Amino acid sequence: MKITINNSDSYATIVIPFFENENLEQQLNDISKQINFEQKALLSDFSAKAKEQVLGLTQSGEKVYFLGLGNGKNPGEVSKIFRSFFNANKEKLKLGASVILHNESIQNIARDISNGIFLAEYQIAKLKTGQKESTTIFNSDFTLNFQTENSESISNAVAKGRAMAETQMKMMAWVDAPANYKTPQMISSWIRESGSTNGFEVEVYTEKACEEMGLKALLAVGRGSIDNPAEFVVMKYSHPDATKTVGLIGKGVTFDTGGVSLKPGDNMNYMKSDMGGAAAVCGTIELAAKLKLKVNIVAAVPLTENCIDGKAIKPGDVIGTYLGKTIEVINTDAEGRLILADALAYVKKNHHPDILVDLATLTGNCIQSLGYAAAALLSNNDELAESLSKSGYETGEKVWRMPLWDDYKDMMKSDVADIKNLSSAPLAGAITAAKFLEEFIDGHTTWAHLDIAGVAFGDSEYGSMKSSTGYGVKLLTNWLESIS
């Protein structure tokens, strides 16, 4: 696909987005005159509701789509609408198309429009055989023109939206890949490649190195996986003008059987998505490097499978950790917090970040509490929590803060170890998981935990089964920009 940005090129197809507002009728009249579209009857019922479309022809024969963007109160909606529209039409559009950015409010969302268009290229069906490759706007000489009078600023926004989409699609492919196509070793190799391509440092620690480092909790979870042992990946991105260092930690369980505390068989296939936190973190540092954000980042992803074998940890076992604390394993299916404990403590001790944020598909309780609309946010710092909440709203990747009060701390007490990995009470699971993690930040005063279990993987119009949403990359990148 070729991209142009100017106010003169015209193509066989025109796409014109509109928000719902009181000036809609005047905007429609003005645009109709501009493109010689006189079929007013077609527009009489157009109200610009989200995804609403009106299709017609100009006097010159161009096909024109009037596309509704809704009321603008959900910033993430614009990208979703354009992804949906171009996904549905990527084989139908011929020769070229113009997206008319006809007023300031539309120009201001050029990044999101671009992001949605390029996300439409993503296909879940990577491993199907016997499929005839079809010609689309993405693999042909198709030209897409963003028609605007403000080409310089729009050019930067369009480029940024495209860069975001390219990184998001890579992370979505990671999460959607089956476990035998993304072992810890495969993912660490992908991360090395990304670092080499995009300009950030990558250090991969194999199982033996992890043992020498004292990552005991990570290795305990990985013991049940004989063929694909645990690995620990540390990434570093730096900018000469940066004033802050941010530590990012992502849960990287490439498949989760639950271990000896075996999960039910129904929908266990979806446990390939249990590395959504690691994907978000890797995508964020890749995009930060692409965009040259003025911030220093140290990112760590503990990678492992949680499998069943004679060497697998058992309920009742007591294991060690990088920090030195001991953990009583009540349930082996609460493994994500174990590997995060080591990663948090490692980054805090060795890299001294100003801010520490972890992301994980951690608890079913988070989904019970918030459904699929928002991630759970727990933090020991009000300013950090507020800034993450603001970025969540601005990107449409919303978060909702839950309490981190010490009232919940006693629920994690153990009689035989320093702490247990699961509360005995079947309630407040997202909160008690965060209270567990808090024990391993070693007194860090600016920390946030995001439980993304309900938002990293879900139903969509792009497949008959659940698939990756790419959650976290937009949120964290926006937040990093705001603090840098």
| Nearest in space to 477 (alpha carbons), one of 285, 299, 347 | 285
Strands (E), 277-403: 296-306, 318-319, 327-328, 355-360, 375-379, 399-401
From 80, 111, 337, 348, active-site residue: 337
Question: What letter does residue 264 receive in the DSSP assignment?
Answer: P
Tell which residue, 138, 102, 74, has the closest CA to residue 15: 102
Is 227 annotated in a binding site? The answer is no
Active site includes 337? yes
Residue 358 assigned ligand-binding role: no
Cβ atoms of 452 and 280 closer than 8 Å: yes
Closest CA to 98 of 59, 41, 50, 137: 137
Is 442 annotated in a binding site? The answer is: no
Q: Which two tokens stand for residue 189?
A: 């190799």
Is residue 120 a contact partner of residue 167, using CB atoms and an 8 Å limit?
Answer: no
Closest CA to 323 of 301, 307, 345: 345
What CA–CA distances, in Å, run from 430 to 298, 301, 358, 377? 25, 20, 14, 9
Is 73 annotated for ligand binding? no
SS3 string, 136-186, reads CCCCCCCEEEEECCCHHHHHHHHHHHHHHHHHHHHHHHHHHCCHHHCCHHH
394 annotated to a ligand binding site: no
Identified catalytic residue from 94, 236, 263, 390: 263
Euclidean distance between CA atoms 15 and 160, whole angstroms: 20
Catalytic residue positions? 263, 337
Binding annotation for Mn(2+): 251, 256, 274, 333, 335
